[in-house]
Structure formats: structure tokens, C-alpha cells
Structure 1
């Protein structure tokens, strides 16, 4: 199978390369060349849990099933109530390889597929009559032909190789049954997940999973960026980031903030977390960015023109 196309969102991520855990300077001691993040007006006050780039620009999802679109006039609400209109929170989102369909998942089995080119919404909620909370989603392939992978709070991975059509769903329990916090795929059926038992799993067929770590991490895992079999980034509690090189895990310590999301490309990127924390990595070194918020940040992505981070209180930061 071919690697995922370049039309997919071009995300940045933060990483560490030292063999031992490397300390990062505090914000007060950071370089004067710190990146400047700006708070922009948000149409909502609830938490935004994820943000993604599509062929039509950036979209964010969050509390009460809201979906926001970044437009020339600012961020605007385009959906309220989620795919079923029941107001279920949306915790995760992803985009097809051509950027035309935004998939999102959330509480009570919510799954939606939104066509960003037409505004059409398809409700795929409660596959197999499952109404557990879904924490994250990853999709591969093009619009209408996607493989869909959904991370369940009950420790199950739900998947459909036929664009989420009814009767095409199946599931597997990769680990101990702990909640699967995040999922990301780098190819059609190749990717990684992290769960609440401090474990990382990989698949090469989209349906069977094997554990690749992480021993003695001593922190929870919250975010994963799967860029290849030998290029995986994990963000977690206590400011920790871990990079899988194919043969070993390389830890980096950014500080105390729990890091909820991480986006890395070619060793350059961002990780975000508690208290408005943003760390970026360039030249093989982490550094903290100054941000105008103390709100907990939940997700980060790079849009065509700007980097975007979202979080509690409807927070939207742009850089």
C-alpha cells in the first residue's frame, strides 16, 4: 500500500532526540525568539477537543457536538448538536486523504462524516449498537472510500473498511481493556494507538494489534502521531514526549504540563497541554512558546497558512 498522500493535512509536531530525558527551559528562561501565539475570537465557550485541516480550511470540534469552521470572517459555528443532534460531546476528528470529508467521534457512540465541499452530514453513530464514548478517530483513503478507525473508551478499537457503512463494522480489544486515548494511521491499514494502561500498540492490517511499549514510562499517554513504522511520537503526563525510532524509545522531558496532543513532521512540530502550554521543536531541541492563555489546550494542527491550537473555554490560538 502506498504512503498517505501529500494532500493530507501537513502537520507539525514536537519531538526529542536525546538518549536520556532532556530538560526544557521554563517559559521565563526561553529564547527571545519565542513564537507568538494569538488568541482569536471563538463563537463558543465550551471545550474544543480537536482541530483538523481539510481541503476547505481548518475545522474544530467540541462540547455539545459543535463543529466550527475557520473562514475569512473568522471562526463560525456550522454544526450544533453533533451528528445525531443529541448534543453529544465530540472528542476526536480526522480527515480523509483528499481533505474532503471530516470525520468526528464522541460521547454515546457519536460518529459523523461531514462533506466540507457540500455541507452534507452523514450520521454513522452507534455502530453495532455501541453507545460507549469514543475518544478519537483516524481515517485513511479518499472521500467515500475510507477506512475508519475509532478508539473506544471501553478499550476496544472499532473499524470499518467500507466507509462506515452499516454492517461493515467490527472490533478488537488490543490490550487490557483500558480506554484507548488516541489513534493515528500513517498508511491505509498501518498505525498506532495508546491506551490508559501506559501501552502503545501497532497494526499492519488495521485489525490485529501488537504491543511495542512502553516499559517504565510512569506517566499516562494522551496523544499519538504515527508517521511510520519507525517514526512514532507519544505525548503524555508530566510533560513527557517519547519518540519510537524503530529500535528504541527516546524520551524528552518538557516540564510539568500534561501534554494532550502532538503533531510532528520531519522532526519539527508542536505539542500542547495543560495551562496553555505549547512546546515546539526546531534544530533537534524543544523550547516553550509564549501563549496568551492559561486554559488547558487539547489539540494542535498546522493549517496551510497558520498553526492552530484549541482547548478549554472555547480557546483558539493561532500562530
Structure 2
């Protein structure tokens, strides 16, 4: 793994593949080591969550941006980067942890300077007002490479911090919606689309198909940790792992898995009906959660406070 990933800040804030397909899962709810529901100031669905240098943030429907403080969760922004209430579906953080980037409906793209408490809108790049499903950023605050996953099957990118006139786009596949995108280097990363396809790039511009043959399920989440270390969450409770030469499917159950975060053998994935699954050296385990709400995103596994978000403004903490 190279450069920064979101788990860099997760450690600061809190601080091979293992299972065979079809292995039965147990449910874990040890006292003092279980998921709890946090009080939140919104009933809107939350679509993504991430750690920055100063703590955790979440984004969701209606353009809401939440921050976790020492007094709990509070609204940082409402209405999105333009104030029009466009929902925010993706969230990422610059390598120094000082700026949030988020993207969502109707071409919404925002950049929030945390130390300066200042919001910048980069919405409707190239006059595009399609829906965006995810965002990945690499680089320092003010000079980041920005990549946005489009519902129209395009990936939009700027190598100059989203400045006007610096955007371009590429259609990596068939035109199916690009559901998720993640980068492990300045221009190296992976994306998944609604046509059961994983794409890889090493220049941020040219994308090639990486798989997955005969997957038979939709892909929703991707964790890109290296050229030979990719994890994809999918429908039907399946997680796919790429080791640089082949894909290995792992069966966790039936829930559609909307997001995944992996760090070697350790991993977390979340999905429908409040499902949370954890992987360690013994394989996948379903963990008990105090909600039946659909979960959409999760933070990495190596913090004292792990977070998962979803429908109804739900935030789980562990």
C-alpha cells in the first residue's frame, strides 16, 4: 500500500484471504465490545462516513454533512455545496486530513476546508448535472487529484483540485453506473460499475477491465489498497478479493453489501437490514447490531471507534 488511505486518520482518531465460500457465520455481541446507536441530528439517510485529521464526518440525503464532536454528532452543513438540498452520496479526505470532498445528486461537488471552516463548491463541472455516486481524492489540501464516479457510467477527474476548466471524463465500461471508486496512489485505483465489472487505472485516465467473470451479483463497494490488494462488496452477501492474479469470492450470507473496508486479512462490510460482518484470521463473523436499518458505509477496522451509517440517519459506533 502506498501513500495515505482513510485509515491513516482512523488510527489517529482512535488510536491469504480467510474464509471459504459457504462457511457458517456466528453472531457476536460481547459486553463492552458491541455496536451501539449514536444520537444524530438528522433522520435523513447517511450514505458515507470517513475520518479526517480532527475526527469523523458523515454525509447524506438533503445535502447534510455531520461531524462528530466531543459532545456527539452535530450538523456541520445542510443543503449541500450549493444550498439546493442535493443529496451527498460520497465522501473522501485529502492526504493531510484537512479537507473534505463530497459529491452527490444533480452534479453536486463540494470541498470543505476544516481548519478555515470554509466551503467551496465545484458543482456541475463541465456543466454536468448528472448524479454522482462516489468521490476519491489524493494529494494535499488545495492541490488534490479528484475523481468522481458518475451514475451515467463516466468517471470525472481533475488533477488541479477541481478548478474550473480542469475537469475531464472517461467512460471506462459499457455506460452502466459507476457505483464506487477508491484510490491507493495519486493516480492508481479501482472502480466498480452496475454491470458486474471492476476497473483498474495506473494513470487516473486510462481504465482497464479487471473482472469479475461469472460474478452474477451487482457490485456496490470497493477498497483499493494496492495493485494486488482489492476488495469488492456485492449483492447476495458476497465479498470478492483480488490478490494480483486471481479473484476469490467469499460468502457472508444474504444481505446486499454496500461498502467494505479491508486491511490485510481484517475487514468490515455492511449492508441491508443492519448487517455488519467482520473478517479476521478465523473467517467472517456476523456481529449483532441494534438496528434493522439498511447500512450504506463503514470506516476501517483499526480504530477504537468504528463507525457505520445508513438509513434514517443511523450511525452505529463500536
- Shorter-chain TM-score: what band? over 0.9
Note closer, same or farther for the CA distance 1:113–1:24 as it changes in structure 2 (3 Å cut): farther
- CA deviation after TM superposition for structure 1 residue 115, in Å: 1.0
Note closer, same or farther for the CA distance 1:113–1:230 as it changes in structure 2 (3 Å cut): same
SS at match of 2:135: strand
Which structure 1 residue ranges, 4+ long, deviate > 3 Å from structure 2? 5-11, 15-18, 30-35, 302-305
Asked if the contact 1:56/1:117 (under 8 Å) is kept, the reply is no
SS at match of 1:108: helix
Separation (CA, whole Å) in 2 of partners of 1:301 and 1:197: 26
TM-score by length of 1: 0.94
Partner of 1:77: 75
Partner of 2:268: 270
Map 1:1-319 → 2, pairs under 5 A = 3-5=2-4, 8-10=8-10, 16-18=17-19, 21-25=21-25, 27=27, 35-302=33-300, 304-319=303-318
Mean alpha-carbon deviation: is it higher for 67-76 or for 304-313? 304-313
> Deviations along 1:49-81, whole A, 9 cap, x unmatched?
000000110000001000000000100001000
Asked if the contact 1:83/1:111 (under 8 Å) is kept, the reply is yes
Separation (CA, whole Å) in 2 of partners of 1:23 and 1:177: 35
> Deviations along 1:175-195, whole A, 9 cap, x unmatched?
000000000000000000000
Asked if the contact 1:17/1:250 (under 8 Å) is kept, the reply is no
Separation (CA, whole Å) in 1 of partners of 2:123 and 2:101: 11
Separation (CA, whole Å) in 2 of partners of 1:281 and 1:180: 26
Separation (CA, whole Å) in 1 of partners of 2:313 and 2:108: 20
Asked if the contact 1:23/1:255 (under 8 Å) is kept, the reply is no
Asked if the contact 1:65/1:82 (under 8 Å) is kept, the reply is yes
- CA deviation after TM superposition for structure 1 residue 123, in Å: 0.2
- CA deviation after TM superposition for structure 1 residue 3, in Å: 1.9
Asked if the contact 1:17/1:251 (under 8 Å) is kept, the reply is no
Separation (CA, whole Å) in 2 of partners of 1:289 and 1:226: 24
- CA deviation after TM superposition for structure 1 residue 282, in Å: 1.3
- CA deviation after TM superposition for structure 1 residue 23, in Å: 2.6
> Deviations along 1:52-111, whole A, 9 cap, x unmatched?
000110000001000000000100001000000000000000001111110000000000
Aligned residues: 312
- CA deviation after TM superposition for structure 1 residue 247, in Å: 0.5
Asked if the contact 2:49/2:298 (under 8 Å) is kept, the reply is yes
Separation (CA, whole Å) in 2 of partners of 1:186 and 1:255: 28
Identify unmatched segments of 5+ residues in structure 2.
none
Note closer, same or farther for the CA distance 1:34–1:217 as it changes in structure 2 (3 Å cut): farther
> Deviations along 1:181-240, whole A, 9 cap, x unmatched?
000000000000000000000000000000010000110000000000000000010000
Asked if the contact 2:29/2:287 (under 8 Å) is kept, the reply is no
Separation (CA, whole Å) in 1 of partners of 2:62 and 2:198: 30
RMSD across aligned C-alpha pairs, in angstroms?
A: 1.8
Asked if the contact 2:86/2:108 (under 8 Å) is kept, the reply is yes
Separation (CA, whole Å) in 2 of partners of 1:24 and 1:230: 27
Asked if the contact 1:275/1:294 (under 8 Å) is kept, the reply is yes
Separation (CA, whole Å) in 1 of partners of 2:250 and 2:33: 20
